Structure 1
Amino acid sequence: MTAAPQTVTDDHSQSFPDTAVATSAAIQHASGSTPPPAQMPPAPTGRAYLRFVLVLGALIAIGPLTIDTYLPALPSITRDLAATESAVQLTLTGILLGMGLGQLLVGPLADAVGRRRPLIAGLALHIAASIFCAFAPTIELLTVGRVLQGLGNAAVAVVAMAMVRDQFSGSAAATMLSRLMLVMGLAPVLAPTLGGAILQVTSWRGVFVLLAIAGTMMVTLASFALRETLPPANRRKLAFRPVVATYGSLLKDRTFVGLVLISGLMFATLFSYIGGSSFVLQDIYGLSVAQFGLVFGLNSLGFLTGSQLNPFLLKRFEARVLVRVGVTIGAIAALLTLASAATGFGGLVLILTPLWFILFACGLTLPNTPALALTRHGEAAGTAAALLGASQFVIGGAAAPLIGAMGSGSAVPMTLVMALTATLALVVATLTLRGRLEAAEPAQPADATA
């Protein structure tokens, strides 16, 4: 027994009817593996909707805050710990790999035990890891601490995405994710400036003390202001074979894999800028810490503009169309940035201007790829969100050391990696997002017919 294919449309006013979820639940119930699903909590509206956006956005912001606040400190960390630039950039890779691999573990756990407990445990790990980083005596131990921070933040990333999918789907989910990005988008705008201000009064270690304090505030907020969104009757069995079978089912969906790759490649484009900009703008173009924070914040407004324009565009265009437009803009802008860096034509102005459009493209693309991907697999939202998030952080994590390995004498390494990842995202989108997207058959646990 399988679910009939369902055409995914972009009705902005209603969540999509999730017949695939109902069919999957019926299969599991008929086999005796799980009880029939409980009715999902109603989607929040009015003030409850606003509160959900603000609370979840504040929690999600812990990720970019952890990554971006210490960016102005990278040169001082290099000097203080007698490390190479490549080794320091590995601390960025460490947090991304921790977030990527952690999501693969947390996703099935969140589908099995609910959303709140993994979230609170992850925030607690973030606090402990931040304190560890604050006292790290070597670059190697700092990298270990960053990996642990990433593992803690992975729970926040997975749970937030799964909570959105628990209550919204399709264009409604894309709109919600855009609203969340308005809240969390303030983090990369403010974080480097905040990090620069901290460095005026203390060392880079004070940045990690601040992150520990922020984590304490977030775990308090999560404990009191966020309700469980996954009823016990809708939870999936946590066992090795069902988890592997679910991941296998997701990987057989060609369109889902395409969306995962697009999301990962665009995140790598974004993170190439995040990981390389402090060295390029400060060491090559001579910006001060304060000037770097200002420029970084202004470029981050490009990301915010794209993400906040997205809900209005969704009223007229399908999400898949916006993804293709976003990756096209990103690829063109990245190639222009590479040309400017390689030739020196236009100087800093023709480096920063295309960078703004690259971040705009990321802001337009990144809310829509998870919305499309999770709509196809709502019955395993935690696991699907984990695979989606892991691709972002694993692919993105490879970008920073690659830039460092190519040297720091010019802006070419950073812009070359950005051009490569953005162009690959355009190629994948062209190959996989043709025509209207059909809903995938539900990912079934391995014991569904046992």
Structure 2
Amino acid sequence: MTMDLRVLRQADWDQWYGTLELAFGGVPETPEERTLWRELTRFDRSIGVWDGPDVAGSAGSFAFRMAVPGGSLVPAAGVTMVGVRPTHRRRGVLTSMMRHLLEGVRDRGEPLAVLTASEPGIYGRFGYGIATHRIHARVDTSRVRLVIPEDPSVTDTSYATDGVRIRLSAPEDARAACEEVYARRVTTRPGMLARQPGWDAVPLLDPVDKRDGASPLNCVLAEADGETVGYARYAIRPSWDRHGPRGTVVLRDLEALTPAARAALWRYLFGLDLTSGIDAFSLPVDDPLLQLVDDIRRCDVQVADQLHLRLVDVGDALAARTYAAPVDVVLDVTDAFCPWNTGRWRLTGDAKGATCARTRDAADLALSARELGAAYLGGTSLAALAGAGRVRELREGALAEASVAFMSAVAPWLPHGF
């Protein structure tokens, strides 16, 4: 039979999503999860490949706005729900869906496409580069201490957290307050996503079957001068051995508007009764926690890829962000999967803004769309990519100039999956 690629209809969602579950091992999601993801599905942005009555592949995208260096929120297609039926692998299903999705992203005028990859080796051939990383920290709180700076405005031995009140709240009751804090944090770190309607439910998703022995989700608020200035959402996984309690704090997320609020939240988590460790599964690679602990070796920090990014429109994407230092370079870009990007582009910019347009001038750097995606948010340097042979310097000094300009003051980071 001839395979048919078409836009997803609401009546086909269950079959379509079932194929996605099959592609990811065949374990059905809970009704709670399925209900939320159906509500969030953008049917006009979702596609499937049908082979007769069977769904051979699924894919879609969300309409996000993502923070980029300089603080602007740029439209980005969040590519998601990508799966291929096990019987239809290596038959061009994934390639056809990726091509269709990216052409749609371009038609909608979204300069960026982003995704999180089940396997990091899949998406480079479609022009995606690894733009953000995350760390997983397993902190031994029985051996690691927090070293919280003293408040220089106080003459006695008071600490910087003394003005912060910590208050427990039901996660649902605290939803609005947490979202206000999150919204104020978004533009401070590249890679963060502005919450779209309905997405405030994602951090609260807490199906019993997925707790792995942990408690229901808890929420604690940090308050100062009557205002919520931070929050942490976590669960407790109890454990005992012959020496006593060995429970683990499973940290879902933590955001804070001030160093004092952040330190107060970590001090609270470190001090929870009947626990001797914290599992923090997704923190920025430069998270302040790494500067608050006295023994980084006992935090068992592991780094992993996170957000994969590709420039759908090179000119608009590079002009949408600012640059840490003045830059004026001509980029010779190759993009086999989105050929409209191939060619020479002159990028001129600084901390106030940028322009990027096609040019016939001689190129200063040569690279592919994949390398631009990796460097775009400022977490991976062009110099590091050049060291791996993935960027070529054609004008002496251009690599150093561009590498410094592209970098971000803080590491880019994706706060949640999609």
- Whose relative contact order is higher, 1 or 2, with alpha carbons under 8 Å and at least 6 apart? 1
**TM-based fold match above 0.5:** no
- Which structure is higher in helix share? 1
The TM-score bracket by the shorter chain reads under 0.3
The TM-score, its normalising length taken from structure 1, stands at 0.22
- Which structure is higher in strand share? 2
The TM-score, its normalising length taken from structure 2, stands at 0.24
Structure possessing the higher radius of gyration over alpha carbons: 2
